[in-house]
Amino acid sequence: MVLKAKVQRSIEIKNDALELGRVCRQILQDVTSDGFSEEEVFAIHLALEEVLVNALKHGNKNNSDKKINIEYNITKNKFEITVTDEGDGFEPEHVPDPRNDENLCKTSGRGMLLIRSYMDKVEYNEKGNSVLLVKNRAK
């Protein structure tokens, strides 16, 4: 396997589902062509779709006047992406754990659980409108 040079991109998109799909496909093409394994690409795909949809729906509240900023890097060791919306933010620690008995029938929190399960690092900024995801490349 030949690893490419570092890929670093910054993209600002409209708060639009079609734009999200286009950017998601572009990012997945970059990680695939850079030699990430099928399992790693699968994990990135799931987490990426979830975080982008969260930015569109929950962060920007489906407001087409708002933007989503995406910055990502691909190095020989990892994929990292920061997704920032123009919303008011939230407190991730206050999202109910969907695995608890009292939350089993609630729909909130499942996406965050999925993201944390598939990524090696998940960090939110203080405001709660920006998230950093990191997926380490298998050695």
Bridge partners (DSSP) of residue 61 are: none
Residues of the chain with pLDDT under 50: 1-5
The C-alpha atoms of residue 112 and residue 122 are separated, in whole angstroms, by 9
Longest dimension (CA), the chain: 49
Report the b/e string of 99-117 with b at 16+ CB within 10 A.
eeeeeeeeeebebbebbee
The pair of structure tokens assigned to 60 is: 């920007």
* Cβ atoms 68, 24 nearer than 8 A: no
**Exposed/middle/buried for residue 10 (C-beta within 10 Å: 0-12, 13-18, 19+):** exposed
| Best CA proximity match to 14, nearest among 65, 48, 82 | 65
pLDDT the model gives residue 98 = 56
pLDDT the model gives residue 1 = 42
* Cβ atoms 4, 34 nearer than 8 A: yes
Q: What stretch of H or E contains 54?
A: helix 38-54
The pair of structure tokens assigned to 54 is: 């969260």
pLDDT the model gives residue 5 = 46
pLDDT the model gives residue 44 = 98
Domain 7-136: what homologous superfamily?
Answer: Histidine kinase-like ATPase, C-terminal domain (3.30.565.10)
List the chain domain ranges. Answer: 7-136
